[in-house]
Structure 1
């Protein structure tokens, strides 16, 4: 059985160089701030995953189909319209999202236009809890 190859893999590319290519000055500054917040929450240095995802920590997955690979435990990507945070679900996530401030949610993706739109304390708690949950459930 042929295995599908994960297109989003960890690379040796520089996170700083990637963030410095962001044309929008405010989004670039928010990306550096978010990198620092996620490094603090995870205890891991930021690494590039594919060409546009900044990830923290990693885990190995294997599906019943035979497909397997590695993925970051938490991550974000500075997209055109928002900063997209990839955060796993956990028991109190919905309660924190209600307190977060202006954002959109789709699956495990939290979309924030700018960091000043959200409560920094709640964001830190969301990042900490997401990483803790990911580390305990995905790293077994």
Structure 2
């Protein structure tokens, strides 16, 4: 992640999300990720809501900081970022419901179309992997 956490108002950002389903789902993710992380949300750049912070180092030597749990209410879907990638969550993703994935991203068009307990388990597992110190290096991407 190429940015640092800022002091922008997360609640105002979420309230300003135009798409009503994305706005509703962003509020739900604020609650879910807040429960998992026991951290207050912070804006990372202009569009990512993050909880906590971790340091990463790629095998190439590139390093930086990122939020341990985060999401972004994009126009097409909400993006949930999984710092440990989607691979470790394959079994859970098969039970999640309607979604698509990228290398380290989970795209959700409507949280009503997914099993929220499964989603919470995925986010919790990713968060714990990163915060338990067993995360180590990750593939550069």
Q: TM-score range by the shorter chain?
A: 0.7 to 0.9
Q: Which moved more, 1:41-50 or 1:84-93?
A: 84-93
Superposition pairs for residues 65-80 of structure 1, below 5 Å?
A: 67-80=62-75
Matching residue of 2:128: 132
* Distance across 1 between alignment mates of 2:122 and 2:56: 23
Are residues 1:52 and 2:47 paired?
A: yes
Query: CA RMSD, aligned part only?
Result: 2.0
Are residues 1:84 and 2:79 paired?
A: yes
Q: TM-score, normalised by structure 2?
A: 0.85
1:27 to 22, 30, 41: 22
Distance 1:62 1:91, change over 3 A: closer
Q: CA deviation at 1:64?
A: 6.4
* Contact 1:59 1:138 (8 Å CA) reproduced: no
Matching residue of 1:13: 8
Matching residue of 1:3: none
Matching residue of 1:123: 119
* Contact 2:2 2:64 (8 Å CA) reproduced: no
Distance 1:64 1:91, change over 3 A: closer
Superposition pairs for residues 77-116 of structure 1, below 5 Å?
A: 77-87=72-82, 88-89=84-85, 92-116=88-112
Stretches of structure 1 that go unaligned for 5 or more consecutive residues are 1-5
Q: CA deviation at 1:98?
A: 0.3
